[in-house]
């Protein structure tokens, strides 16, 4: 199980977690970031870098709602996209998506 970013990240796109990620697996939506569970190597570098404590380790027992949301960002088509993102192999080359999952939109995203 990979690390998970929860609702504390909504509206907080500081980027400190991205800066320390050695495999570039933290992707940017419109209002929240998402960790690709297939690209994450479970190193934990992002946890201490997060200024709002939004990143949970597998041993913390992340909320299943946010586990599913992080997975959905990559596995389901997002609004304005006809296909899932999948595993692009790095967030920096993919760039910000400008769209979030339905859950994030409902919880306070744009």
pTM for the full predicted model: 0.93
The answer to the question of residue 8 being in a domain is yes
Domain contains 38: yes
Whether the pLDDT of residue 76 is over 50: the answer is yes
What is the pLDDT averaged over residues 4-29? 96
> Residue 101 domain-assigned?
no
Q: Which residue has the tokens 């609702």?
A: 7
pLDDT at 94 over 50: yes
72 falls within a domain = yes
For residue 70, the domain's CATH number is 3.30.70.20
Domain that holds residue 18: 4-93
Query: Residue 110 has what pLDDT?
Result: 46
Provide the number of structural domains found in the chain: 1
Whether 100 maps to a domain, the answer reads no
């Amino acid at each position: 199980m990979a690390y998970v970013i929860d609702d504390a990240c909504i509206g907080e796109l500081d980027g400190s977690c991205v800066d320390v990620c050695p495999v570039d697996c933290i992707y940017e939506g419109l209002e929240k970031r998402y960790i690709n569970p297939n690209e994450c190597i479970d190193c934990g570098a992002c946890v201490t870098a997060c200024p709002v404590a939004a990143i949970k380790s597998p041993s913390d027992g992340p909320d299943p709602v946010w586990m599913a949301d992080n997975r959905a960002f990559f596995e389901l088509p997002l609004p304005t996209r006809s296909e899932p993102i999948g595993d692009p192999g790095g967030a920096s080359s993919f760039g910000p998506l400008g769209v979030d999952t339905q859950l994030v939109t409902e919880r306070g995203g744009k």
